[in-house]
Structure 1
Amino acid sequence: MNIKRLAAFLLIVVITLGVVAWSSPGLLSKVRLGLDLKGGFEILYVAEPIEAGKEVTRDSLIKTAQSLEKRANASGVAEPDVTTEGTNRIRVKLAGVENQEQVRELLRKPAELSFRGPDGKKEMVGSDFVEGAAKVGFDTANRPMIQIEVKDKDKFADVTRRLLNQPLAIYLDEEQLSAPVVQQVLTDGKATISGNYTFEEATNLKDIINLGALPLKLTEKYTQSVGATLGQQSLEQTVKAGIIGSLLILLFMVVFYRVPGIVAAITLITYTWLVLLVFYLMNATLTLPGIAALILGIGMAVDANIIKFERVKEEIRSGKSLLSALKSGSKHSFRTIMDANITNIISCGVLYFIGNGAIRGFALTMIVSILISILTNVLFSRMLIDLLIRSKLFTKPTYFGVKEADIREL
C-alpha cells in the first residue's frame, strides 16, 4: 500500500469537505434571493419622453434606471435589481418589500432636476437648459468645472441678479448634488459651475443637466407581486426537495459504483458549493428558475460521472488493470462528456442573449454549472480516483462495481 498516495487523497478530501462545511452557513446566508423566494414585487416600465417630439435615448434610459435604483435604496429596499431592456423598457425587481404601494408611488414619479435658492424655492428646472450644451472644462488651476447654457437669458439674468453672492443649489429630486455660489450677474445665458469636483463628479453632473433631469415618463406595463410568506414557503419547499433529491442521487452513486461512487459524492458536494460561491462572488440573484437550473446541473454532473464510470467498468471487464482502465475509460468518455456540455453551453448562451428575466437567470446558472461541473466531476474526480488506485488500497475490481466473473482475458 502506498501511504503517500492515500495520505494525499485523505488530505485533499478532508480539506475540501472541511472548507465546504465551515463556509456553507455563511455563504448561504449571503446569497441574494429573488423576489419569488423572498417575497416582493417586479415592475416592467415603459419609458416615454415628457415633452412631445422628443426621443428616448440610451443615455436617458440608463440614467433613469440609475435614478430608480437610488430611489429604491432611499426607501430602504436592500439590493434592488434594476435593468434596462430594449430601447424603452426598465425592469425593477424589489425583494423583501413590505409597503409595496408606497415604494411603487415613489418610483413612479419622474425625476426632477431643479436649481433652488437659499429659501428652497425652485428658480430653474431641467427643461430650462439647452439640451446637450453642458460640457466639462478646466479652470486656470486645472480643476474640473461644468459649462452650462440656458434657453431664457433674461430669466437666468434675473435669477443671478437676485441671488448674487448666494448659493444656487442643484437638486435631483430631494438630493442636493451641488451648491455653487452666484458670483456675478450673467446676462449671456452661459455660466460655469466650479468647486472641488473630481472629473468623474463633474462628468456625472454634466450628464444630468444635459439629460434635462431624466425627462422620461414611466408607465407600468407589467406587475408581479409575491407575498413574503409565499416566498418563504417556496424557498423551504425547494430546499427540502433539493436535499431529498441530492441524497437519493448520492446514495444511488455509492450503491452502484462503490468507490467511484464515493468519489462522485465528494465531487458533487464540492460542485454545489462552488456554484453557490460563484453566485455570491458575481453578486447574482438566486431565483426559483436558478435553483431549478442548479438541480438540473447536478443531474448533468451525475450523468458525466456515470458515462465515465461505465466506460471504466467496460475497460476493467476487458481485462485491463485498474489504472489502465481509468486512463482509457476517462480518455474515451471525455469527448462524449465535452460534446454534451458544449452543446448545452451554446443553447444556454442563446437563451441568455435572446431571453430576459427568469430565462436569463436559468441560462446563466446552467452555464456556470456546466463549467464548474467540468472542473469537479471530470478533472477533480479523475484525480481523486487516480490517487486511490495508486495507493493500492482498493485493488479488487469489485470495489469498482465489477464482478471478477465478468472480467475477460486480454
Structure 2
Amino acid sequence: MNRYPLWKYAIIVIALLVGSIYTLPNFFGEAPAVQVSAAKSSVKVDLAVQERVQAALAAVSLAPDVVTLDNGSLKVRFDSTDKQLKAKDAIQQALVPDANDASYVVALNLLARSPAWLTSLNAAPMYLGLDLRGGVHFMLQVDMPAALTKKAESLAGDIRTGLREKNVRHSGISRNNQTIEIRFRDMETLEAAQRVIQDQFLDLQTTSAPDGADFKLTAVINPVAAKRVQEQAIKQNITTLHNRINELGVAEPVIQQQGTDRIVVQLPGVQDTAKAKDILGRTATLEIRMVDDSAEARSAEFGNGPVPFGTERFMDRNGQAVIVKKQVILTGENLTDAQPGFDTQNQEAAVHLTLDAKGARIFKDVTRESVGKRMAILLFEKGKGEVVTAPVIRSEIGGGRVQISGRMSTVEANDTALLLRAGSLAAPMEIIEERTIGPSLGAENIAKGFDSVTWGFVAVTAFMCIYYMLFGVFSSVALAVNLLLLVAVLSMLQATLTLPGMAAMALVLGMAIDANVLINERVREELRNGASAQSAIHAGYDRAWATILDSNVTTLIAGLALLAFGSGPVRGFAVVHCLGILTSMFSAVFFSRGLVNLWYGRKKKLQSVSIGTVWRA
C-alpha cells in the first residue's frame, strides 16, 4: 500500500543529486578579477595576449591566482580588490596605449571561485542584486551639442527640400555646428525663404544680414526647441540602453537620468562586465548618404585635392577613402528591425534591415532618382564613421528592405544587428565613470537576510519535530530539500536574488511546511477515526493532496500577477515566490511521502506511527 516503485526513488535521487551540484557553487563565493575582451571584431584575444598580460603583471610584481582564456575573453583573478585595481591599470597601459583607438576592453569583474569540475558542468552561482552583492556602476555623459548638431543637419536637409518645393532659389545651404546658413542673391528672395521657414519650421529662429554682394539668412534652433531636443535625446538614449541591456540578458537593471546630461546605469549580478561595457559604450548609429563621384571627389579620395564643399571623407573596411555628401537621407530612426544573415549571392555575412513606412518611401524615391549612382551606408561608433558598403544603385528598391554587407564576420554581423535593433542613440555617449559597487544595504543587512532564512528554518523544524515527532523530522528533511531545490533552480536559471527575494525565500519556508501540516493532521484524523496505521498514512496523503493543490495554485496565481505587473524589487520577490511554490509541491508531497514509505512501507504489521499525540474524542 505505502510503497514507491523503484523509478520514483530514482527521480528523488536524481533531483537531490542535480540540486546538490547546482547549489554547491553558491558556497564558494566570488573573487575580484580583471577581464580582457576584444573591442574590434578584427582583434582576437589569444595566447599572445595572455602572455602580454602576464608580462605586464610581472612588471608591477603582481601574481594572479588564476588566469583563464575562454570564449574569446581573458579573465585574471586576484585575492583582493587592491590587487585587482592595480592590475587593471597595468593591463590597460600594456594593451590600450591609445584610449581613442582601443583594440581591447579592460574591465573589472567578479568571478566565481567554483572548482573546475563544477564549472565544466555549467554549474554557476545565482546572481545577487545590488542590494546584496552589488554589481557594476556606469555613469554616461550624453553629448548634447552633438544632438543639437544632428537636429540642425536634419533641418538643413528639410529646408533644402522645402525651398525647392516652393521654387525659392538660393545660392547654397551650409551648416556651421548648430547654425544653418542660407545665401541669396537678392533681399526679395531672402524674405520669401524666411516666410517659408517661419511657416514650416517652427523650431527655428532666423536673422538676416548682408554678406558681401549676397545676402545671408542665418537660422538657429530656438531655446524652447533646443531644450525639447535635449530632453528627447536623454529619453531616447535611456530607452535604447534598456533595449541593449535586455539583449544582454541582465536582470533588474537600474537606468536613470542624473542631472541634465548624464545617465547612471547599474547592472546587478553581471558576469561579463567587459561585454556590457562594450555594448553600452558603443554609439552605433546608421546613416545612409549619397557618394560624391565628381572629379574633385575622386581626386580627394586619393589625397590629391581638398574635400569638395558639402562633403565628408570616410574610410571603408578595405582602408580606402570614400567621399560622401553631408546630407543624410535616412538614419537609424527609420529602422524597425535588423537581423544578421547571409548574402544570397556570395554567402558572406550580412545584416538585413527593415525600414518604417517613411523610410521605405524615401529610400524608394532616392533609389529611383539615383540609378547608376553610389549610395553609402555608414555606421558611426564612438564618434567615428565607417563606410560599411557603398554599392551602385542598379534599380529602384522598394518594400523597405535593405541589406548591409561588405567583408564582415559573422560575429561582427551579430553585434551590428544587435546595436541597430536596440535602437539608435539620439546623441553619442561616453563612459566617464565605472566602478564595481558594494551592497547598497551593507554587509549587516546581508547577514540579517541570511539569518532570517536560517533562524526561520530552525524555528519551523524545531516546532515540527516536537509536535509531530518522527513525521516532523520527515517534514523538516523535506523542507531542507525544498530550500536546496529552490537555490538550485535559481542558480540554473541564473536568476538575480535580491533582498525582497530573500524575504520571499523565508516566506516560502512557512508556506512549504503548511503542506506537511495538512498531511500530518489528515493522518492523525484517520487514526482518530480508527483506521490502521498503513491505511491512515495512505489516506492522509491522498486526501490532503487536493487541498494542497488548491492552496498552492491560488497562491501561484497571485505570484504570477506580481511577476507580470510588478517591477524591480516586486519582480525579485515574485520570482522566488513562484519557484518556491513549485519546488515545495515536489518536496512536501512527493519527497516526504517517499521518506515515509521507505521507513514504514515495508512493515506489514505496523501498530503505530510516530506522529505525536493523537487526541481521540
Per the TM superposition, whether the score is higher than 0.5 is yes
Q: Which amino acid aligns with 1:111?
A: T
Question: Which is bigger in relative contact order (C-alpha 8 A, separation at least 6)?
Answer: 1
2:443 is aligned with 1:241: no
- The answer for the alignment partner of 1:38 in structure 2 is 133
CA distance in 2, matches of 1:257, 1:211: 57
SS at match of 2:590: helix
SS at match of 1:35: coil
Q: CA deviation at 1:209?
A: 5.8
CA distance in 1, matches of 2:591, 2:511: 16
2:478 is aligned with 1:276: no
Q: Is the 8 A contact 2:244 2:419 kept in 1?
A: no
- The answer for the alignment partner of 1:65 in structure 2 is 242
Q: 1:384 to 1:231 in 2, by over 3 A?
A: same
- The answer for the alignment partner of 2:567 in structure 1 is 356
2:24 is aligned with 1:25: yes
2:392 is aligned with 1:172: no
CA distance in 2, matches of 1:232, 1:174: 41
SS at match of 2:454: helix
Q: Note the aligned Cα RMSD (angstroms).
A: 5.5
- The answer for the alignment partner of 1:141 in structure 2 is 346
Q: Is the 8 A contact 1:39 1:232 kept in 2?
A: no
Q: Which amino acid aligns with 1:213?
A: S
For residues 13-33 of structure 1, give each alpha carbon's deviation from its aligned partner in whole angstroms, at most 9, with x where no partner exists: 888767766654314541100
CA distance in 1, matches of 2:408, 2:475: 57
Q: Which amino acid aligns with 2:611?
A: F
CA distance in 1, matches of 2:285, 2:347: 27
- The answer for the alignment partner of 2:192 in structure 1 is none
2:416 is aligned with 1:213: no
- The answer for the alignment partner of 1:256 in structure 2 is 467
Q: 1:92 to 1:274 in 2, by over 3 A?
A: farther
SS at match of 1:352: helix
Q: Show the 5 A alignment for 1:108-123.
A: 111=283, 113=285, 116-117=314-315
- The answer for the alignment partner of 2:330 in structure 1 is 129
Q: Which amino acid aligns with 1:289?
A: P
Q: Is the 8 A contact 1:127 1:212 kept in 2?
A: no
Q: Is the 8 A contact 1:113 1:173 kept in 2?
A: no
Specify which structure has the higher proportion of helix. Answer: 1
Q: 1:69 to 1:23 in 2, by over 3 A?
A: closer
CA distance in 1, matches of 2:442, 2:408: 45
CA distance in 2, matches of 1:394, 1:292: 45
2:496 is aligned with 1:285: yes
Q: 1:246 to 1:314 in 2, by over 3 A?
A: same
Q: Is the 8 A contact 2:20 2:484 kept in 1?
A: no
Q: Which amino acid aligns with 2:467?
A: F
Q: Show the 5 A alignment for 1:217-236.
A: 227-228=438-439, 230-236=441-447
Out of 328-337 and 352-361, give the one that drifted further. Answer: 328-337
Q: 1:175 to 1:93 in 2, by over 3 A?
A: farther
Q: Is the 8 A contact 2:284 2:420 kept in 1?
A: no
Q: CA deviation at 1:312?
A: 0.4
CA distance in 2, matches of 1:361, 1:19: 24
Q: 1:84 to 1:125 in 2, by over 3 A?
A: farther
For residues 302-352 of structure 1, give each alpha carbon's deviation from its aligned partner in whole angstroms, at most 9, with x where no partner exists: 111111101101111222111111122222222222221121111122222
For residues 1-58 of structure 1, give each alpha carbon's deviation from its aligned partner in whole angstroms, at most 9, with x where no partner exists: x9x98x9999998887677666543145411001111135899x9x9x98679999xx
- The answer for the alignment partner of 1:94 in structure 2 is 267
Which has the greater radius of gyration? 2
Q: CA deviation at 1:119?
A: 11
Q: Which amino acid aligns with 1:392?
A: K
SS at match of 1:388: helix
CA distance in 2, matches of 1:168, 1:228: 45
CA distance in 1, matches of 2:253, 2:584: 30
SS at match of 2:267: strand
Q: CA deviation at 1:398?
A: 5.3
Instruction: Give the TM-score normalised by structure 1.
Output: 0.66
Q: 1:208 to 1:192 in 2, by over 3 A?
A: same
Q: Percent identity?
A: 25
Q: CA deviation at 1:383?
A: 2.6
CA distance in 2, matches of 1:369, 1:181: 53
Q: Is the 8 A contact 1:113 1:125 kept in 2?
A: no
CA distance in 2, matches of 1:192, 1:311: 68
Q: CA deviation at 1:61?
A: 7.5
2:421 is aligned with 1:195: no
- The answer for the alignment partner of 1:310 in structure 2 is 521
SS at match of 2:132: helix
For residues 208-230 of structure 1, give each alpha carbon's deviation from its aligned partner in whole angstroms, at most 9, with x where no partner exists: 56887333799xxxxxx985374
Q: Show the 5 A alignment for 1:295-334.
A: 295-334=506-545
CA distance in 1, matches of 2:466, 2:384: 64
For residues 131-157 of structure 1, give each alpha carbon's deviation from its aligned partner in whole angstroms, at most 9, with x where no partner exists: 537988945335546689999x9xxx9
Specify which structure has the higher proportion of strand. Answer: 2
2:546 is aligned with 1:335: yes
Unaligned runs of 5+ in 2: 30-124, 152-224, 257-262, 271-275, 288-313, 430-435
Q: CA deviation at 1:245?
A: 1.9
Q: Is the 8 A contact 2:244 2:418 kept in 1?
A: no
For residues 145-192 of structure 1, give each alpha carbon's deviation from its aligned partner in whole angstroms, at most 9, with x where no partner exists: 6689999x9xxx9xx99xx9xx9973433699x764657799x99997
